[in-house]
């Protein structure tokens, strides 16, 4: 079972960040963890150097950054008190760095955080913590990243969705998703897009005699079970059992077997990320996906797809980068 005892919430004090605070409250409380707030003040290196070269009578390091840091510290404490419930309230920190995204990732790794929970790009917003910063954090972080969209509904996390192209890489988030399912309860769905030009999974359908969608479903179940049986990070034993339209996922923990509803949804479409977002917005509470996949004709779960899904999704997107796979 996963542990989410330390959650890092980077903030730019925008409205989008407020949604991240509230979501962090609910999620972290379920795991008995703490939420730490971080604000990164961007260092303007070239401006600092220009001021020195021009001989202007003030110093960014002495006059500007200290004032910004003082203001940030006050805002962080205010945000922590106003938005975080006391049981999850952790530390607050302000740092100055030229690259906001790298500073966030480095801090998360250095202090061994279990999760980075960050505001996704909001409508008509151009804040430092939104858009490109969030996307770069998703792309490069080795710590799982949960991107929270604005106006997220306040209801329990019950329906988890895993987009997959059938590759080992796309299945690599399964153990993490199963562990979260076991912690939160609910149901888990594998989601696959039959694209017009096909990919590795669709090509295998040619050897099957069943209906195409049923054949793809069988292949995905087979691949998921193979991965769960062979992945080094799957403990205790986990397997998907049942038949079409009546699957369940079983977690064998000693003499105890816990069962959760499991489904496979296969749709036809041209754009994988559009189909993922469209389905998830109506049928899931959280998307969980690997941040990188393959290129070329089996391109469904490229890192860029994960970033695009996080940018457009109306539900939170958790991206996971497995340490044991070398796919760069």
- Which pLDDT value is given to residue 132? 79
Q: What percent of the chain is predicted at pLDDT more than 70?
A: 79
Contacts (Cβ under 8 Å, ≥6 apart) of 68: 41, 96
Q: What is the Cα–Cα distance from 197 to 15, expressed in whole angstroms?
A: 41
Helix (H) or strand (E) holding 256: strand 256-269
End-to-end CA distance of the chain: 27
For 177-224, what is each residue's pLDDT tens digit? 999 999 999 999 999 998 766 555 555 544 444 588 888 999 999 999
Q: How many helices (H) and strands (E) does the chain have?
A: 11, 12
Q: What is the Cα–Cα distance from 150 to 119, expressed in whole angstroms?
A: 7
Contacts (Cβ under 8 Å, ≥6 apart) of 79: 11, 13, 17, 18, 21, 37, 92
Q: What is the Cα–Cα distance from 79 to 39, expressed in whole angstroms?
A: 11
- Which pLDDT value is given to residue 210? 57
Contacts (Cβ under 8 Å, ≥6 apart) of 123: 150
φ/ψ of 254, rounded to 5, equals 70, -125
- Which pLDDT value is given to residue 315? 94
- Where the chain has pLDDT below 70, the residues are 1, 44-63, 121-131, 196-210, 232-234, 292-303, 324-328
Domains with residue ranges and CATH for the chain: 6-148 (3.40.50.620), 159-320 (3.40.50.620)
- Which pLDDT value is given to residue 249? 95
């Amino acid at each position: 079972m996963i542990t989410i005892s330390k959650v890092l919430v980077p903030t730019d004090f925008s409205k989008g960040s407020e949604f991240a605070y509230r979501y962090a409250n609910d999620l972290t409380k379920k795991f008995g963890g703490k939420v730490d707030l971080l604000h990164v003040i961007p260092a303007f290196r070239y401006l600092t150097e220009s001021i020195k070269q021009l001989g202007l009578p003030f110093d960014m390091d002495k006059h500007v950054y200290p004032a910004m840091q003082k203001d940030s510290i006050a805002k962080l404490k205010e945000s922590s008190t106003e938005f975080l419930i006391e049981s999850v309230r952790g530390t607050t920190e302000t740092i100055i760095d030229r690259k906001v995204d790298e500073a966030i990732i480095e801090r998360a790794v250095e202090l061994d955080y279990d999760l980075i929970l960050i505001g996704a790009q909001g409508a008509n917003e151009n804040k430092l913590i939104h858009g490109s910063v969030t996307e770069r954090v998703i792309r490069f972080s080795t710590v799982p990243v949960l991107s929270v969209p604005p106006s997220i509904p306040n209801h329990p996390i019950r329906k988890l969705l895993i987009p997959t192209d059938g590759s080992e890489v796309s299945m690599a988030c399964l153990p993490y998703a199963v562990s979260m399912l076991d912690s939160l309860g609910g149901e888990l769905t594998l989601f696959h897009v039959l694209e017009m030009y096909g990919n590795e999974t669709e090509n295998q359908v040619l050897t099957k005699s069943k209906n195409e969608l049923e054949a793809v479903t069988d292949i995905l179940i087979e691949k998921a079970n193979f991965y769960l049986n062979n992945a080094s990070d799957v403990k205790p034993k986990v397997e998907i059992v049942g038949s079409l339209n009546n699957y369940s996922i079983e977690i064998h923990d000693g003499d105890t077997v816990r069962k959760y509803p499991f489904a496979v949804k296969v749709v036809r479409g041209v754009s994988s990320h559009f189909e993922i977002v469209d389905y998830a917005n109506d049928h899931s509470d959280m998307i969980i996906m690997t941040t990188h996949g393959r290129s070329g004709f089996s391109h469904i779960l490229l890192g860029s797809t994960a970033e695009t899904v996080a940018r457009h999704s109306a539900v939170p997107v958790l991206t996971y980068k497995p340490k044991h796979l070398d796919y760069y």
